Amino acid sequence: QKEVEQDPGPLSVPEGAIVSLNCTYSNSAFQYFMWYRQYSRKGPELLMYTYSSGNKEDGRFTAQVDKSSKYISLFIRDSQPSDSATYLCAMDTGNQFYFGTGTSLTVIP
Amino acid sequence: KAGVTQTPRYLIKTRGQQVTLSCSPISGHRSVSWYQQTPGQGLQFLFEYFSETQRNKGNFPGRFSGRQFSNSRSEMNVSTLELGDSALYLCASSLDAGTGDNEQFFGPGTRLTVL
């Protein structure tokens, strides 16, 4: 079983839709939870991070962590064509990062 | 502030050869981590260097090695290349430890193709 599981998609939504991206994990030692966005031919860039259960909001993005269920989510409100990218979840034990395989998102104008 | 740079951007090698990839971190960043990214496995951690010392290592064979210089620049080497080594190799730098509260900045990657 992989440390981090992420639905690869692809996901295609119309502009303005709410997008939900999810990851599950098995390692209780994970302390930090992150979401990265990766555009084609670019390296990943950090979108959001959190270290506790609950919600964290940043503009159109909301990260949600449920440690009891070992489940994290990223919600994108009012999705834009510029949000089209691959989204990677990542988790950190304090010594090493573990990444999901990424979900490819396309927002159609 | 210049971002993380990686050279070369693209590389084509044949099986059995060796390759060296280079990463220049953001100025002032002392931690450099290397990852292998493939469509099936996603991003997998190779190793992390801090102040010229390997601090953490992932589950890759000994053919994968790295080093860090006093100016924090890092290189990774893959010897006896195999077809399965074809991937995007990403370097990430951070101020200190590569933990979630210390953001990792990724370079654009080096696309390695092994024929």
Residue A53 has what pLDDT? Answer: 85
Closest partner CB to A32 (pick from B4, B44, B99): B99
Question: Which SS3 state, helix, strand or coil, does residue A78 take?
Answer: coil
H or E stretch covering A99: strand A97-99
Which residues of chain B are within 8 Å of residue A97 when distances are taken between CB atoms? Answer: 33, 43, 45, 98, 104
pLDDT tens sequence for chain A (109 residues): 678 999 878 999 999 999 999 999 998 888 889 999 999 888 999 999 888 888 999 999 999 999 999 999 999 999 999 999 999 999 887 777 889 999 999 999 9
Query: What are A11's two structure tokens?
Result: 């996901």
**What is the C-alpha to C-alpha distance for residues B18 and B24, in angstroms, rounded to an integer?**
20
Residue B99 has what pLDDT? Answer: 53
Residue B40 has what pLDDT? Answer: 78
Judged by phi (left if over 0) then psi (alpha if -120 to 50, else beta), residue A32 lies in beta
Question: Which SS3 state, helix, strand or coil, does residue A54 take?
Answer: strand
**Taking CB atoms and an 8 Å limit, are B33 and A97 in contact across chains?**
yes
Residue B100 has what pLDDT? Answer: 54
pLDDT for B98 beyond 60: no
**Closest listed residue to residue B81, CA positions, set B5, B26, B34, B19:** B19
Question: Nearest-CA distance from B7 to chain A in Å?
Answer: 13
- What are the C-alpha distances in Å from A49 to residues A14, A88, B6, B96, B102? 26, 12, 25, 17, 10
- What are the C-alpha distances in Å from B5 to residues B25, B30, B70, B73? 7, 14, 17, 10
- What are the C-alpha distances in Å from B14 to residues B76, B82, B112, B115? 18, 8, 10, 5
For the CA atoms of B30, A92, A52, A11, the dihedral, rounded to the nearest 10 degrees, stands at: 110
Q: How confident is the model over A73-83, as pLDDT tens digits?
A: 999 999 999 99
Residue A85 has what pLDDT? Answer: 96
**Taking CB atoms and an 8 Å limit, are A49 and B109 in contact across chains?**
no
pLDDT for B97 beyond 60: no
Query: What are A76's two structure tokens?
Result: 């994108």
B38-56 mean pLDDT:
89
Q: How confident is the model over A55-67, as pLDDT tens digits?
A: 999 999 999 999 9
**What is the C-alpha to C-alpha distance for residues B86 and A91, in angstroms, rounded to an integer?**
25
Question: Which SS3 state, helix, strand or coil, does residue A9 take?
Answer: coil
Q: Are A107 and A21 spatial neighbours (Cβ–Cβ below 8 Å)? A: no
